[in-house]
Amino acid sequence: MPWQLGLNLLPDTEDLGQIVTPEIQDFIEEAEAWFTSLLGRSPGGHEHRVMLLALRLAHEAGHAQTPYERRQVVWAGLLHDIGKSALDQKILEKPGTLNVQEMLIIQQHPAIGYRLAYSAPQVDAEILGGIMHHHERWDGEGYPMGLMGESIPLLARVLKVVDVYDALVSDRPYRPAWSMEEAADYLRQHAGTAFEPHLIRVFIERVLSGPSQPPYGPA
């Protein structure tokens, strides 16, 4: 199944796979169908891993307790980087450091993604906010709007953590993958600046260590 792409990069793969209950699978298929109809391809491994980790983190942090909220997480996770589809792939795959102009282009992708996702069925303000603001920082130094602290939508704060984590433990054109421990150290060091501190504690202590039982009841 597409959601299994790159599961070897995730902690406790077997338990994370159990997140995909029939309910969650329906939400994934719904989002993938819309994504494919728009772009002619399915979401990639990064999008699926971010979605799974976001479900896990949101649940462990006491959110995503209803089907409606879980659908929001699935859609926002799979669509968070959809704006990159409109950018020059040479910039996205550049092996070296981006220059100022290239960075400004990259920083357009949340707003582009917002506009693309706006046309999706039953996409609400929470999903759109997750897509638009997943590069904001807890200290207000992020983009596109420089939101700070709890003014950043909750779903965007969740996506921020798992998006950065997955990027760190994945090979990128400009560097090899980090270990899980190195990525966790980075998250700790930037809690309270780049990331919401509470979400970092939950992610490291309860997500990276593996869930005690599958959420949402039996698969």
What's the length of the chain? 219
What range does the domain containing 167 cover? 2-88+98-207
Domain contains 219: no
Q: Please indicate, yes or no, if residue 173 is contained in any of the structural domains.
A: yes
Q: What pLDDT was estimated at residue 129? A: 98
- Would you say residue 12 lies in a domain? yes
Look at residues 173, 216, 219 and name the one whose alpha carbon lies nearest to residue 71: 216
pLDDT value of residue 16: 54
For 122-170, the pLDDT digits (tens) are: 899 999 999 999 999 999 999 999 999 999 999 999 999 999 999 999 9
**80 within domain boundaries:** yes
- 9 pLDDT exceeds 80? no
158 neighbors 60 (Cβ within 8 angstroms): no
For the chain, report the end-to-end CA distance as a whole number of angstroms.
16
- % residues pLDDT > 90 (the chain): 82
How high is the pLDDT of residue 216?
A: 44
Domain count, the chain: 1
Structure tokens of 159? 């996506």
Longest dimension (CA), the chain: 49
DSSP secondary structure letter of residue 79: H
* Domain CATH for 11: 1.10.3210.10
In a domain, 116, yes or no: yes
Q: Which residues pair with 195 in a beta bridge?
A: 191
Q: Average pLDDT, whole number, for the chain?
A: 90
Residue 209: CB atoms within 10 Å: 11
* Residue pair 126/153 in contact by the 8 Å Cβ criterion: yes
How many CB atoms within 10 Å of residue 51? Answer: 28
In a domain, 218, yes or no: no
pLDDT (tens digit per residue) in 13-48? 455 556 789 999 999 999 999 999 999 999 999 999
**Is residue 52's pLDDT more than 90?**
yes
Q: What is the pTM of this model?
A: 0.89
Q: Is residue 182 part of a domain?
A: yes
Domain for residue 216, yes or no?
no
Query: Dihedral of CA 155/209/15/170: which sign?
Result: positive
Q: At 217, is the pLDDT very low, low, confident or very high (cuts 50, 70, 90)?
A: very low
- Whether residue 144 has a cis bond before it, omega within 30° of 0: yes
Q: Which residue in this structure is represented by tokens 């996506």?
A: 159
